[in-house]
């Protein structure tokens, strides 16, 4: 059988059955053996007993998104697995591993004619009470992929060493037994040898990368209110910030968390909070305060299905409107959207840098598909964005905190600085920060806050621009990698397609966008929303080619590379 | 402070040139006087003090001082102040609020500020009315007080901020009356010096919407008993209190909030080790 360059595995089962652990261990073992890959989770809302799926893709090259289809579906059990209809679609030639005592897999996942390999999980665990069903399933999946037993053993040791040698040995035996049970199809999806990876290898999730990006950018204070799917950012920062001299505080609600970071940043310490849609909604008023009082803060929104509580555990790109427009009054601010799991690091670091440089709030618009996806990658390169706030040190009386002129960024006195005392204020104020309702001062300060953001040189990071030709795909956030994969297929067919993915959503960059779109005759906009928010945003701020079409749908069903590819290769009309 | 720095120790040194927007006769003028007197007594340089507020008449006070100030959004002064104090323990952080800002829209933060016990001083200028929005009932307004928004009265039981503060874990609870500025100043000095979250409810009449509060000067009196550090005893007293007992009512000894810190910070490159395979 030909070796594959990319294999996709879905492991499903009830929550608490160890599905996510199994997926993570499979990814780790493959990563240890040198392959690239990622794992995305799809879970129901229940803490225990709901349905869970670990979607693992392993590849010889780095990958940024799930593939269209699943090659290997492993059912630890099939309870509620029909809820993954559409999310898990089998590829031609796929194999399903199923315990006969758990009944047949749901037809919506495995239609008639699907090749099913029986794995007697219940029977094996009954005969060997120390074996866990998920470890047996892990061994079976690993054997089909041709994964080295030694890599698997090392990962088992890493995970279970603290539980004692008995657990490690039982798990090793269970995986071996699982592998032996599927000997008939061993190597059915054998991966080609990994390309040699240079340097250190990392396993990291988007939420962890976001936390690391904040620390690299200089953040030393975080305020936290838990929310799915953003909590992992805060839980990564909680033990790690103190290691570098910083602090995390749990707040009583999101209103408190954003006000805490405004207070800490006013005190001179770069600060962050992370939330999801409901929290971002609560933070709107204080984001306006940070704009008016010119306090740098970073707010990460890991988007999930909305509105209201929506689908907390699954992804959508529908907080764009609220991030861009969701403020009363005129409140220029920054909105930055990471484009991959590792780009969460760069984008958050850049957002911190920009917030500090421009004394303005920055929103990082991540999503569940990035935040809770774990990737195996080479260590991301260091970038040199360490924000340096313009502070007032030598102060001549009277100090003008909000002085006009220059770039619009005025020196900020940090409490403790003699002669710099001022009152930061959300009221319209004079250059000295004194409240006023005068039209002239109002206009002058609005201009100041707008100009400092509009005139800044954001350089090449404002967007990802790849390829050339008269056809372009415009997308953002987690769909960037999906579009890139679709474009690569189209290019392989001889169709030249550009990728345009703005990382900087606000402020808009009309000049740069016009240059990026120069020569584009047909444009395909791709986004994960019900009302085409991104397309409406683009139309409001940019001139798009006359022939523009939109591929859009709400979450949680991710847009696949093949859907974009089909649009690109459909012929004359997109 | 360096030896060459002149000590700012006159109340006038803590006043800014900004003219207050308050109505003539407002109790808040006296609170400002007490606050600047307290600052002078404390002898802290103005740049080492931050006065944080929300929205309302009383929340205008930061700009009337010569200290660092933050006039934030309605009801959120306490979390903003907590963020500041946690990263800047070197500063004296005083939070100013009113009964609408602090007890209604900011009520949840009040509970958690008491619980968290960050070393802050919280001054609530209570006039039992929303003054800036022209006379609507606040959480401390009497249920039969007639307003345009609640004709015939709100019918809602008033809130007892001192009991709430005590039950929630405030480390210092006192009541003051703006018309006794010297006594109020002394209470503020003690509150700032007391570790943890210190709360002073300051009865500060609104002469415009509550002219009846002119009678407060005859109703207030010193608390008949000494302050206690026994929360149960303080609670019993406060539950039967007539609302006009002045002075320190509870002086706790709970350790203030200390954020988790690492004794020997490492280089941030160390954090990356957790991701290596």
The string of DSSP letters for A18-71 reads: SHHHHHHHHHHHHHHTT-EEEEEEEE-S-SSSSEEEEEEEEESS---S--SSEE
Which element (helix H / strand E) includes A287?
A: helix A284-293
- Residues paired with residue B69 on neighbouring β-strands, in sequence order: A423, B51
Q: What is the pLDDT of residue A377?
A: 86
Report, as an integer, the average pLDDT of A272-277. 98
- Residues in B closer than 8 angstroms to A238, CB to CB, are 260
CA-based angle A509:A512:A516, to the nearest 5?
125
Angle in degrees, 0-180, between the axes of helices A19-32 and A149-160, rounded to the nearest 10: 130
Residue pointed to by tokens 């006023």: A436
What are A304-345's pLDDT values in tens digits?
999 999 999 999 999 999 999 999 999 999 999 999 999 999
Reported as a pLDDT band with limits 50, 70 and 90, residue A571 is: low
Q: What is the pLDDT of residue A50?
A: 84
Reported as a pLDDT band with limits 50, 70 and 90, residue B2 is: very low
Q: What is the pLDDT of residue B3?
A: 44
Question: By C-alpha distance, which of A520, A422, A502 is closest to A464?
Answer: A502
Question: By C-alpha distance, which of A391, A399, A419, A395 is closest to B6?
Answer: A419
Contact B88 A267 (CB under 8 A): yes
Q: How far is A242 from A215, CA to CA, in rounded Å? A: 11
What are B203-237's pLDDT values in tens digits?
999 999 999 999 999 999 999 889 999 999 999 99
Q: Say if residue A43's pLDDT is above 90.
A: no
Q: Say if residue A2's pLDDT is above 80.
A: no
Q: Say if residue B163's pLDDT is above 90.
A: yes
Option in A253, A261, A288 nearest B83 (CB): A261
Let me know if domain B16-275 sits in CATH 3.40.50.740: no
Task: Return the higher-pLDDT residue of A7 and A50.
Answer: A7
8 A C-beta contact, residue A276 and residue A228: yes
Task: Return the higher-pLDDT residue of B4 and A247.
Answer: A247
User: Beta-carbon neighbour count of residue A563 at 10 Å?
Assistant: 16
ipTM value: 0.96
B218 interfaces chain A, CB cutoff of 8 Å: no
Q: What is the pLDDT of residue A381?
A: 85
Q: Say if residue B1's pLDDT is above 90.
A: no
DSSP chain B: --TTSPP--SGGGGB-SPPP-PPTT-HHHHHHHHHHHHHHHHT--GGGEEEEE-SSSGGGGGGGBSSEEEE-STT-HHHHHHHHHHH-TTSEEEEEEEHHIIIIITHHHHHHHHHHT-S-EEEEEE-SSBTTTTSB--TTS-TT---SSSTT----PPP-HHHHHHHHT-SEEEEEETT-HHHHHHHHHHHHHSSS-EEEEEE---TTT-GGGGGHHHH-EE-SS--BS-HHHHHHHHHT--S-EEEEEEE--PPPP-----SSPPPGGGGGGGGB-
Question: By C-alpha distance, which of A490, A497, A502, A505 is closest to A522?
Answer: A497
User: Beta-carbon neighbour count of residue B264 at 10 Å?
Assistant: 6
Q: Say if residue B40's pLDDT is above 90.
A: yes
Name the residue ranges covered by the structural domains of chain A: 6-185, 202-378, 392-456, 459-568
Give the residue on B whose Cα is nearest the Cα of A417.
B47
Q: Topology of A202-378 in CATH? A: Rossmann fold (3.40.50)
Work out the end-to-end distance of chain B between its first and last CA atoms, rounded to an integer number of angstroms.
Answer: 50
Using a pLDDT cut of 70, give the percent of chain A over it.
Answer: 99
Distances in whole angstroms, Cα of residue A432 to Cα of each of A413, A420, A447, A573, B71 = 12, 10, 16, 58, 14
Residue A307 preceded by cis peptide, ω within 30: yes
Report, as an integer, the average pLDDT of B114-136. 97
Q: Say if residue A511's pLDDT is above 50.
A: yes
Best probe of the B interface among A152, A159, A266, A375, by most B CBs < 10 A, is A266
Which element (helix H / strand E) includes A242?
A: helix A231-243
Q: What is the pLDDT of residue A520?
A: 98
Contact A423 B70 (CB under 8 A): yes
Q: What is the pLDDT of residue B260?
A: 82
Q: Name the CATH superfamily for A6-185.
A: Pyruvate-ferredoxin oxidoreductase, PFOR, domain III (3.40.920.10)
Best probe of the B interface among A234, A259, A272, A417, by most B CBs < 10 A, is A259
Reported as a pLDDT band with limits 50, 70 and 90, residue A434 is: very high
Option in B88, B268, B276 nearest A201 (CB): B276
Which bin fits A519, alpha (ψ -120 to 50), beta or left (φ > 0)? left
Q: How far is A188 from B200, CA to CA, in rounded Å? A: 74
Contact B265 A244 (CB under 8 A): yes
Q: Say if residue B11's pLDDT is above 80.
A: yes
Q: What is the pLDDT of residue A1?
A: 58
User: Which chain B residues in 222-261 lie under 8 Å from chain A, judged by CB atoms?
Assistant: 259-261
Question: How close A60 comes to chain B (CA, Å)?
Answer: 17
Report, as an integer, the average pLDDT of A515-520. 98
Q: How far is B21 from B19, CA to CA, in rounded Å? A: 7
Q: What is the pLDDT of residue A197?
A: 61
Which element (helix H / strand E) includes A561?
A: helix A561-568
A216 interfaces chain B, CB cutoff of 8 Å: yes
8 A C-beta contact, residue B76 and residue B84: no
User: Which chain A residues in 450-509 lie under 8 Å from chain B, judged by CB atoms?
Assistant: none
Which element (helix H / strand E) includes A474?
A: strand A471-474
List for chain A the helix, strand, coil content (%; round to 5): 35, 20, 40
Q: How far is A267 from A125, CA to CA, in rounded Å? A: 58
| DSSP class of A163 | G
Report, as an integer, the average pLDDT of B190-194. 98
- Residues paired with residue A311 on neighbouring β-strands, in sequence order: A305
Distances in whole angstroms, Cα of residue A262 to Cα of each of A191, A333, A423, A452 = 50, 15, 14, 19
Name the residue ranges covered by the structural domains of chain B: 16-275
- Residues paired with residue B208 on neighbouring β-strands, in sequence order: none
What mean pLDDT is reported for chain A? 95
Q: Topology of A459-568 in CATH? A: Rossmann fold (3.40.50)
Half-sphere exposure of B271 (CA within 13 A, CB side): 24
A243 interfaces chain B, CB cutoff of 8 Å: yes
Reported as a pLDDT band with limits 50, 70 and 90, residue A572 is: very low
| DSSP class of A548 | E
Alpha-helical segments (H) within A294-435: 320-325, 343-358, 368-371
3-state secondary structure of A13: strand
Report, as an integer, the average pLDDT of B11-22. 96
Fold agreement between A6-185 and A459-568: no
DSSP A114-138: -EEEE--HHHHHHHSTT--HHHHHH
């Amino acid at each position: 059988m030909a070796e594959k360059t990319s294999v996709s595995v879905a492991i499903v089962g009830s929550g608490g059955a160890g599905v996510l652990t199994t997926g993570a261990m499979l990814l780790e073992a493959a990563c240890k053996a040198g392959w690239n890959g990622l794992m995305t989770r799809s879970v129901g809302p229940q803490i225990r007993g709901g349905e869970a799926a670990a979607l693992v893709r392993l590849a010889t090259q780095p990958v940024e998104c799930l593939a269209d289809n699943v090659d290997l579906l492993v059912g630890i059990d099939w309870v509620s697995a029909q809820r993954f209809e559409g999310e898990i679609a089998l590829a031609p030639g796929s194999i399903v591993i199923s315990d006969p005592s758990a009944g047949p897999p749901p037809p919506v996942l495995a239609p008639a004619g699907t090749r099913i390999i029986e794995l007697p999980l219940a029977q094996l665990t009954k005969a060997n009470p120390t074996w866990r069903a998920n470890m047996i399933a892990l061994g079976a999946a690993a054997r089909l992929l041709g994964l080295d037993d030694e890599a698997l053993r090392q990962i088992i040791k890493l995970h279970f060493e603290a539980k004692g040698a008995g657990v490690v040995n039982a798990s090793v035996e269970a995986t071996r037994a699982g592998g032996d049970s599927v000997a008939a199809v061993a190597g059915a999806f054998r991966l080609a040898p990994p390309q040699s990876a240079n340097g250190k290898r990392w396993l990291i999730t988007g939420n962890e990368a976001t936390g690391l990006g904040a620390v690299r950018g200089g953040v030393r204070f975080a305020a936290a209110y838990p929310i799915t799917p953003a909590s992992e950012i805060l839980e990564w920062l909680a033990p790690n910030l103190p290691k570098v001299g910083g602090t995390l505080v749990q707040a009583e609600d999101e209103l408190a968390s954003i006000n805490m970071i405004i207070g800490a940043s006013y005190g001179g310490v770069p600060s962050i909070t992370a939330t999801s849609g409901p929290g971002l909604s609560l933070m709107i008023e204080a984001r306006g305060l940070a704009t008016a009082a010119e306090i740098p803060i970073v707010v990460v929104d890991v988007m999930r299905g909305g509105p209201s509580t929506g689908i907390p555990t699954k992804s959508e790109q529908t907080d764009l409107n609220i991030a861009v427009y969701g403020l009363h009054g005129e409140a220029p601010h920054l909105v930055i959207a990471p484009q991959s799991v590792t780009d969460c690091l760069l984008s958050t670091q850049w957002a911190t840098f920009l917030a500090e440089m421009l004394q303005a709030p920055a929103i990082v618009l991540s999503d569940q598909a990035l935040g809770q996806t774990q990737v195996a990658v080479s260590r991301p390169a260091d970038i040199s964005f360490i924000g340096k706030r313009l502070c007032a040190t030598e102060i001549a009386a009277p100090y003008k905190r909000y002085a006009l002129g220059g770039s619009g960024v005025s020196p900020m006195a940090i409490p403790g600085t003699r002669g710099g005392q001022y009152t930061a204020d959300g009221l319209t104020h004079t250059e000295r920060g004194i409240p006023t309702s005068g039209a002239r001062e109002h206009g002058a300060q609005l201009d100041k806050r707008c100009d400092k953001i509009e005139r800044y040189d954001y350089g090449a990071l404002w967007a990802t621009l790849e390829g050339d030709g008269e056809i372009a795909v415009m997308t953002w956030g987690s769909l960037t990698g999906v579009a890139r994969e679709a474009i690569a297929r189209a290019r392989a067919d001889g169709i030249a397609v550009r990728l345009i993915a703005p990382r900087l959503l606000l402020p808009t960059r009309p000049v740069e966008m016009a240059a990026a779109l120069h020569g584009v005759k047909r444009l395909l906009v791709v986004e994960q929303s019900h009302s085409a928010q991104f397309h409406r945003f683009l139309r409001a701020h940019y001139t798009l080619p006359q022939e523009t079409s939109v591929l859009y749908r709400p979450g949680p069903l991710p847009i696949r590379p093949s859907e974009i590819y089909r649009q690109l290769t459909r012929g004359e009309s997109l | 402070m360096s030896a060459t720095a002149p000590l700012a120790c006159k109340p006038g040194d803590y006043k800014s040139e900004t003219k207050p927007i308050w109505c003539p006769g407002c109790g808040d003028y006296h609170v400002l006087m007490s606050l600047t007197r307290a600052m002078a007594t404390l002898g802290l340089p103005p740049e080492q003090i931050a006065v944080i507020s929300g929205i309302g008449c009383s929340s205008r006070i930061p700009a009337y001082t010569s200290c660092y100030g933050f006039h934030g959004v309605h009801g959120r002064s306490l979390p903003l102040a907590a963020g500041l104090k946690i990263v800047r323990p070197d500063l004296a952080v005083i939070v100013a609020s009113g009964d609408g800002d602090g007890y209604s829209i900011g009520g949840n933060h009040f509970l958690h500020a008491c619980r968290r016990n960050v070393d802050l001083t919280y001054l609530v200028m209570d006039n039992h009315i929303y003054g800036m929005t022209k006379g609507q009932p606040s959480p401390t307004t009497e249920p039969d007080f007639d307003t345009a928004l609640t004709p015939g009265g709100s019918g809602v039981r008033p809130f007892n901020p001192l009991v709430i503060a005590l039950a929630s874990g405030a480390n210092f609870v006192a009541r003051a009356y703006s018309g006794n500025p010297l006594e109020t100043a002394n209470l503020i000095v003690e509150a700032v010096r007391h570790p943890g979250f210190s709360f002073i409810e300051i009865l500060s009449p609104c002469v415009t919407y509550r002219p009846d509060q002119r009678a407060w000067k005859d109703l207030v009196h010193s608390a008949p008993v000494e302050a206690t550090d026994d929360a149960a005893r303080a609670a019993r007293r406060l539950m039967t209190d007539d609302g006009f007992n002045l002075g320190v009512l509870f002086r706790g000894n709970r350790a203030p909030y200390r954020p988790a810190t690492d004794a020997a910070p490492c280089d941030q490159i160390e954090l990356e080790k957790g991701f290596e395979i």
